[in-house]
C-alpha cells in the first residue's frame, strides 16, 4: 500500500485530493495548520497531522510522525489579488514564504528520505496563471512561476534517484477558499486610478464560462503521482486545459 502526504488539506484542492487518494486505497497523511479530523472519513488508512509549512520545526516533527511516504503533494498556499502598486511588500514576502520557500523546504526535507528508500514522487500544485498573464495577480504569479522553474530544474537533478517532480496547474476555482485565503480585501488593493481597467476584469471573473472544480485537481494530482510517461506538467480543469493548449 502506497502512502501520500498532502499539505493544506483543510479545504479546497487539498481536502478533495486527500479524499480521492483514500478512495483509491492509498494510505493518506492529511496535514493542516489546525487539524480538523472530522473533515475526512474515519479510517485506519487516514491520519491527520498538524503542519505549518512555514515552520521548519513543524515540518521536521510532521515528517517524523508520518514515517515513509511514496508521494508528497505540496498543495498548501495563500493568494493575493490586486494591483501590484498597492500590494504591501510585507504581504508579498508572506506570499513567497508560503507559496515558494515552504514548497522548497518541504521538498528538501523529504528528498533524503525518498532517496534512501529508492524513489518517490513530489507533486507541486501551482496555478494556471503560469500559462497566461493574469492582471492583478503579479505577485501571486511570481510565486507560482518560481516553483515551475524550480521543479523543472530539480527534476533533472533527481533522475538518477528515481524521484519524480510533477506540476499540477489548476484553473480558476470559485468554489474554493482562494478569496478567503488572500487575507487582504481585494477592494483595498485596487486604487482609484485602476478602477476603470479593473471593473470589466472582475466582472468577467464573477461570471466565468468555464471553471475548475476541486475534483479536477484531485484527479490531476492522481495522474501526476502515478504517471510513468515522463510528462511533467498536468493542467487541471477545462479552463486550464484550454490555456495549456493555447500556449503550446
Pairing of strands 71-74, 46-50: unpaired
What residues are paired with 29 via a beta bridge? 5, 47
pLDDT at 182 over 90: no
Q: 1-30: per-residue pLDDT in tens?
A: 999 999 999 999 999 999 999 999 999 999
**Domains of the chain from N-terminus onward:** 3-242 (3.40.50.720)
Q: 105-127: per-residue pLDDT in tens?
A: 999 999 999 999 999 999 999 99
Q: Which residue has the higher pLDDT, 237 or 179?
A: 237
Q: What is the pLDDT of residue 109?
A: 98
pLDDT at 74 over 90: yes
For 182-191, what is the mean pLDDT? 83
- SS3 at position 201: helix
Q: What is the pLDDT of residue 141?
A: 98
pLDDT at 180 over 70: no
pLDDT band at 208 (very low <50, low <70, confident <90, very high): confident
pLDDT band at 179 (very low <50, low <70, confident <90, very high): low
What is the spatial distance between Cα 86 and Cα 83, in angstroms, rounded to a whole number? 5
User: Closest by alpha carbon to 45, among 30, 65, 60, 35?
Assistant: 30
Cα distances (angstroms) measured from residue 118 to each of 69, 112, 203, 235 = 11, 10, 50, 28
Annotated catalytic residue 140 = yes
pLDDT above 90 covers a percentage of the chain that reads 88
Q: What is the pLDDT of residue 240?
A: 95
Amino acid at each position: 500500500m502506497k502512502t501520500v502526504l498532502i499539505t493544506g488539506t483543510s479545504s479546497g484542492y487539498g481536502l478533495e485530493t486527500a479524499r480521492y487518494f483514500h478512495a483509491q486505497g492509498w494510505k493518506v497523511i492529511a496535514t493542516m495548520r489546525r487539524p480538523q479530523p472530522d473533515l475526512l472519513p474515519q479510517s485506519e488508512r487516514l491520519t491527520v497531522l498538524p503542519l505549518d509549512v512555514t515552520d521548519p520545526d513543524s515540518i521536521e516533527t510532521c515528517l517524523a510522525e508520518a514515517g515513509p511516504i511514496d508521494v508528497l503533494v505540496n498543495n498548501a498556499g495563500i493568494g493575493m489579488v490586486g494591483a501590484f502598486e498597492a500590494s504591501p511588500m510585507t504581504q508579498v514576502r508572506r506570499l513567497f514564504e508560503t507559496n515558494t520557500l515552504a514548497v522548497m523546504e518541504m521538498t528538501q526535507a523529504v528528498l533524503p528520505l525518498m532517496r534512501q528508500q529508492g524513489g518517490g514522487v513530489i507533486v507541486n500544485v501551482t496555478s494556471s496563471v503560469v500559462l497566461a498573464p493574469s492582471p492583478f495577480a503579479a505577485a501571486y504569479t511570481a510565486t507560482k512561476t518560481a516553483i515551475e522553474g524550480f521543479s523543472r530544474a530539480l527534476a533533472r537533478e533527481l533522475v538518477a534517484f528515481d524521484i519524480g517532480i510533477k506540476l499540477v496547474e489548476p484553473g480558476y476555482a470559485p468554489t474554493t477558499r482562494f478569496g478567503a485565503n488572500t487575507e487582504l480585501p481585494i477592494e483595498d488593493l485596487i486604487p482609484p486610478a485602476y478602477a476603470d481597467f479593473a471593473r470589466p476584469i472582475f466582472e468577467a471573473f464573477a461570471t466565468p464560462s468555464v471553471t475548475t472544480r476541486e475534483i479536477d485537481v484531485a484527479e490531476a494530482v492522481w495522474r501526476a503521482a502515478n504517471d510513468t510517461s515522463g510528462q511533467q506538467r498536468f493542467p487541471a480543469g477545462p479552463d486550464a486545459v484550454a490555456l495549456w493548449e493555447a500556449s503550446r
